[in-house]
Structure 1
């Protein structure tokens, strides 16, 4: 059930993001155009228009129309978005268009090497248990500084 809570948090966070015009996302997490958010066409996006967008997203997720989101509804919304994202990733990453991703087609994360190097404090080419624990503590401290006490475990 830990995953259910995590998914619920993701859905709620995604819905909260819609309160910002710069980050407004439509179905499948596409950037919404200014024109889509400026529903009255007056050349400005108002708080009321942003609230209307947020309410529409809520209503879309509230499939039984009871004015509340159940865990099942939030999970269904998260699965729908994950399905769209996975489809787009496949279309983008599947260089040979065979419908599968092989290791060479997987994205390379530039930060992974830098993170490894930061954890390997003594430059030995390996991460000891002490270095690993130190890196975890630094990451936890960083999260706490960025997000306040909500990052505590």
Structure 2
């Protein structure tokens, strides 16, 4: 593969990784960075969950935390979460994530991210890792069969994770 083709492939795969990452974060609510749980919110400390300071967590304490989180989102207090309430909560998290991403990657300080700024660092590493995982035979290219295997393998992982819930 010539240098132009490799560069074009890297750029295309970087775009794919970035787009996939944004889509996954937006749809799953996964927060960036440490301290975020599955729903993209700050993980509570053990002490915050251990409301009776007994040094152990009970099912009731865990349920109480879940109830409090639900009630935070139930803006109108009707005991139900509407689509609008869920979207409002998701939008708040998305705004925080976008702000953090801009702060972390905005090399020229213009408040916006170019493709080049996004492609630096971990995104470039992810793209390279993804390509290496897809290139089973190590020949520097990804065949249709290797691509299909990666898609199938990824689907299988997601399916397995869902059954664990």
> Which TM-score band applies after superposition, normalised by the shorter structure?
0.5 to 0.7
Which ranges in structure 1 are unaligned for 5 or more consecutive residues?
1-5, 15-22
State the structure with bigger RCO (CA 8 A, min sep 6), 1 or 2: 2
Indicate which of 108, 125, 128 corresponds to 2:122: 108
Shift of 1:149: 9.8
Q: Scaled by the length of structure 1, what TM-score is found?
A: 0.65
* Distance in 2 separating the partners of 1:117 and 1:136: 14
**1:1-153 maps to which residues of 2 (within 5 A)?**
10=28, 29-95=41-107, 97-102=109-114, 103-104=116-117, 106-109=120-123, 110-148=125-163
Which ranges in structure 2 are unaligned for 5 or more consecutive residues?
1-23
Q: Deviations over 1:78-120 (max 9, x none)?
A: 1111112222333333355442334246542434323212322
Alpha-carbon distance change, 40 to 122 in structure 1, aligned in 2, over 3 angstroms: closer
RMSD after superposition: 3.5
* Distance in 2 separating the partners of 1:96 and 1:42: 50
